[in-house]
């Protein structure tokens, strides 16, 4: 299962069930889970702990040093979950000591060609990064979120769960959970990602409650503080609205409205 041209460091841990294709390089400190596939010309540098059933397409560079001028060779790492698809020319950098020392990728994620995940970033389960989507350092993409093609997420920004960022968007503030956000000129939220929520099994009642919260936040004459106070005064609106409110309250960079 290991091609004769592949280079695997003696200190790497590669189970026999893994397939290592032509001209792949697996460095010291790399630990692969069961049944991973490196197609060809894949480079993985450690320390990196990678789960099972991950597929790496040609010419991706995984676990390389962070692109940070302050990095001085410190022992930082990358962690990747299970059942991910990493397409051609994707780059994922390890963490930095000032950012916690680790970049974390969840499970069941699709990263399309040329996507980039910067140092100390976190990508949640079932997220999708389309072609050439770019996460700067310290960015967070929560579960089931989609970052569209040629979009960029500014450092320290968060993309909320189930959000959909349209292609070519520059997200310089936090992207609201459940939202559709896109850049015609400046980035704006255009309401609820209702189709995406329906596809994921959200009931009509759950969607109705989230839609009501979005109307208060985006379409009423209330400012953000007033809209949050109004939502709280209405009593229990369910866990989805509670997540949305908490996301806004915890934002350090502000949210895109």
Helix locations, the chain, DSSP H: 194-199, 204-214, 224-233, 239-249
d(C-alpha 238, C-alpha 246), whole Å: 12
| CB contact at 8 A, 38 and 44 | yes
Using DSSP bridges, classify how beta strands 188-192 and 179-182 pair: parallel, antiparallel or unpaired. antiparallel
| C-alpha dist (Å) from residue 148 to 54, 82, 90, 187, 207 | 22, 22, 15, 13, 23
Whether 41 sits among the annotated catalytic residues: the reply is no
Tell me the angle at which helices 239-249 and 224-233 cross, rounded to the nearest 10 degrees: 150
Which among 41, 119, 138, 162 is annotated as catalytic? 119
The catalytic position among 120, 124, 126, 162 is: 120
Is residue 137 annotated as a catalytic residue, yes or no?
A: yes
d(CA 203, CA 201): 6
CA of 19: how far to CAs of 33, 88, 145, 184, in Å? 11, 17, 30, 44
Active site residue 119: yes
Q: How far apart are CA 159 and CA 175, in angstroms?
A: 5
Catalytic residues: 119-120, 137
């Amino acid at each position: 299962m290991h091609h004769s041209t592949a280079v695997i460091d003696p200190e790497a841990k590669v189970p026999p069930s893994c397939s290592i294709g032509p001209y792949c390089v697996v460095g010291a400190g790399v630990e692969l889970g069961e049944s991973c596939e490196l197609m060809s010309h894949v480079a993985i540098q450690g320390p990196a702990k990678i789960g099972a059933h991950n597929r790496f397409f040609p010419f991706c560079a995984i676990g390389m040093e962070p692109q940070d001028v302050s990095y001085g060779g410190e022992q930082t790492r990358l962690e990747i979950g299970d059942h991910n698809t990493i397409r051609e020319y994707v780059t994922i950098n390890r963490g930095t000591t000032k950012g916690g020392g680790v970049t974390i990728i969840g499970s069941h994620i699709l990263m399309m060609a040329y996507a980039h995940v910067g140092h100390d970033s976190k990508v949640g389960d079932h997220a999708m990064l389309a072609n050439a989507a770019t996460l700067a350092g310290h960015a967070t993409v929560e579960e089931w979120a989609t970052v569209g093609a040629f979009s960029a997420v500014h450092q320290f920004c968060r993309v909320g769960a189930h959000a959909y960022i349209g292609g070519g968007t520059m997200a310089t503030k936090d992207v609201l959970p459940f939202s559709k956000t896109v850049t015609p000129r400046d980035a704006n939220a255009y309401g609820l990602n209702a189709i995406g929520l329906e596809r994921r099994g959200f009931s009509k009642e759950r969607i109705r409650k989230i839609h009501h919260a979005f109307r208060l936040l985006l379409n009423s004459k209330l400012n953000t503080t007033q809209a949050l106070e109004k939502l709280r005064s209405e009593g229990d609106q369910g866990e989805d609205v509670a997540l949305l409110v908490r996301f806004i309250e915890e934002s350090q960079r502000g949210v895109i409205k």
